[in-house]
Amino acid sequence: MIIQAIGLLDDLDKELNTYAMRVREWYGWHFPELGKIIQDNILYAKSLKAMGDRANAVNLDFSGILSEEVEAELKEAAIISMGTDISDQDMQTIKALCDQVISLSEYRAQLSEYLRSRMNAIAPNLTVLVGELVGARLIAHAGSLINLAKQPGSTVQILGAEKALFRALKTKHATPKYGLIFNASLVGQAAPKLKGKISRSLAAKTALSIRYDALGEAQDAAIGFASRAKLENRLRQLEGRMLGKLSGSVKGKGKIEPYDSNRKQGTPGLVTAAKTYNPAADVVGVSFPKGDSEMKEKKRKRKEPAGEATEEGKAGVKVEAEEAVEQPKKKKKKSTRSSI
């Protein structure tokens, strides 16, 4: 039932989008300014059905459909509109299409509520973690809840991005970090640099929740709520580290001075305390002991003969090395060993 419902929901979204765009283009010949004033497709169709010809907009009350500001803007635009006139027959055809858009939107809302109730009954922990729409798409992609429960967390993470995965493996590029799980609220509220880490953690907790929903005896969402709280805490920690790195601290925690109530208004607050000159650290009138210069002179005199001796020793070593080179090298006798 969940697979069929999510499939029909996606088809309804496509049809609604197509019909709404057709209504906008068709009615745009008569009142082109209305498309810029009202962005929502359903409100556009309801306003069109209530108004009909743009000349009727001045005497109508749109309080149940639009806000006061939008209503006033609509009435002003209807007076100075540059659209062409339209016949009654064409207007009836456009209103019939508006009825289709409104009825499809109402049916879509009923189907969405049905899907939410079925997901809460069959997979409550999965619904708490990723939402009913993403959870239903994961189940539909795997074929059933049992098949999805057999998948590891790494597969759940990239489920829905198989084409990108195989292309990356073939071309030896980086593999995708997320698939259908990208539409979950936890991944959506994370920073772009943290989406990969959060999707990996979310996929691991999602795999655990799916197995509990498919194979567990109890039908409560305790594991889902606990896992979501841990993931939200993890997201806050990662964002804190990221802010710490941006602030320039070494360990990832920004150094922020406490609030000073005595500070005057308009004076900018300092993130770090200003350095002041310390006169006590100056070195004035330092006297060195008298014996230091004499000790240095004695050490210098002691090192000089040692340096000369070393030079003579080096020269002697060089002479001996040259004599050793001139003597012919004696051939070494090969030692013969008797084999036992």
Question: What average pLDDT does range 83-94 have in this prediction?
Answer: 89
Extended strands (E) in 110-255? none
Interval 240-263 mean pLDDT: 58
Q: Given pLDDT bands bounded at 50, 70 and 90, which one contains residue 326?
A: low
Instruction: Bin 283: left if φ > 0, else alpha if -120 < ψ < 50, else beta.
Output: beta
Q: For position 340, what pLDDT does the model report? A: 42
Residue 211: how many CB atoms within 10 A of its CB? 18
pLDDT over threshold 50, residue 27? yes
pLDDT of res. 86: 87
Question: Alpha-carbon distance 47 to 61, whole Å?
Answer: 10
Nearest to 82, CA basis, from 27, 32, 26, 23: 32
Per-residue model confidence (pLDDT) at position 253: 47
Higher pLDDT, 86 or 262: 86
DSSP state of 80: S
The answer to pTM > 0.85 is: no
